[in-house]
Amino acid sequence: MNRSKVFFWVYKRINTSNCNTSSSRIFLDHISKYVNYSSTLVNTSTSTVKSPLDIVNESDLVNYGSVLKPTYNFAAYADKSVLLQELIKLGVNLHKIEKNPDAANFIIKLDLEKNVKPYLLFLHDNGVPADQMGNFITINPFIFKEDLRDLETRLNYLKSKKFDQNMISTIITKNPKWLSISVRNLDERLGFIQQTFELKGDDVRAIVTKVPKLVIVPKKKIMTNSYVLKEEMNLNKHELRKLIKTVPSLLKKDGFEIMLTYDFITKVMKIPPELILKQAMVLTYRKHLFADRHKFLQKLGRDQYNPLLPGYVPLIDLIQSTDEEFCLKFAKASVLTYNEFLKSL
């Protein structure tokens, strides 16, 4: 078992038990070096940005709306609640919200005019498209619990870090929970990402705009995936940084799945690491999504992944193409023949 696999095994053990082995302590020592970074982005001064207000406790909220009994099923009120009807028009998935009793009970008590519309206006003014408003509320229904002044402070923080309006709009639309993160925590997380991969301010802005969910991915997961990529692919820090800048979503994937995919591509498909780096997006896919296609090409003698030779099959096309495209362009066989092959596995 190579070093990255041992590392990942220890990580899994730590998260599933109270393991106290020396390997566990070494792992934790390794991780602990990265947990207290503060942001060093360009223009890091936050002296001109107001400190976020204290988080509003649920007990401090005014109980708006009609008096309704506690409920976790919106169906009983859908016909008589103007609020629910408007949320449905916006595209909010009430079924998902009611799976969380606290969220459901919170939403049902809101007043449309006083508690909801000011937030919709705020989100619209800051770039959340109308057709994404429903998805935003579905993912983060507790946005209505935040003080609008806190939300403004968090946006001011991003502006102070040189995030432009397009970046901000993209970030809060892709990751609605971003606005619920305090300035202090957000600053710490951005600093952690920057320091871990020795990134410039522009790189951090580009990465978190591309994958806004990175700010809520557990640090241990980021460090585990970073270690796996570095050790499994034998990357130096410059190559790792380039990889993360190109495919930052790797940091939020399952580290074990990344290893399985990489092992299959290198050991079974015989594709060298340097060629994988040029198509690094393939590492974000699980092995089973392309393993059968490789086996089919292998049976036909068309498993040719060298770009310098005739019949070249790009890795990304092997994964992303439809069955029709794959069979016509690369396998040179019918979809029926391919389906029969799959049945034989």
| Contact yes or no for 171/159 (Cβ under 8 A) | no
Which pLDDT score, from 0 to 100, does residue 152 have? 97
For 153-189, the pLDDT digits (tens) are 999 999 999 999 999 999 999 999 999 999 999 999 9
* Tokens linked to 212: 């806004």
Q: What CA–CA distance (Å, rounded) separates 189 from 154?
A: 14
Task: Please report, as a single letter, which amino acid is at residue 271.
Answer: I
Task: Please report, as a single letter, which amino acid is at residue 12.
Answer: K
Structure confidence at residue 232 as a pLDDT band (50, 70, 90) = confident
Which pLDDT score, from 0 to 100, does residue 80 have? 85
Which pLDDT score, from 0 to 100, does residue 41 have? 56
To which residue do tokens 């940005």 refer?
A: 49
Q: Which of 207, 151, 201 is nearest to 177 (CA)?
A: 151
Which pLDDT score, from 0 to 100, does residue 75 have? 78
Which pLDDT score, from 0 to 100, does residue 129 have? 96
| Contact yes or no for 133/158 (Cβ under 8 A) | no
Which pLDDT score, from 0 to 100, does residue 120 have? 97
249: number of Cβ within 10 Å = 15
Q: What CA–CA distance (Å, rounded) separates 293 from 291?
A: 5
User: What's the mean pLDDT in 76-102?
Assistant: 91
Which pLDDT score, from 0 to 100, does residue 58 have? 44
User: What's the mean pLDDT in 125-154?
Assistant: 97
To which residue do tokens 């994937």 refer?
A: 253
Q: Which of 83, 78, 89, 47 is nearest to 65 (CA)?
A: 83
| Contact yes or no for 169/127 (Cβ under 8 A) | yes
Q: How far is CA 141 from CA 75, 115, 330, in A?
A: 18, 12, 46
What is the chain's mean pLDDT, rounded? 85
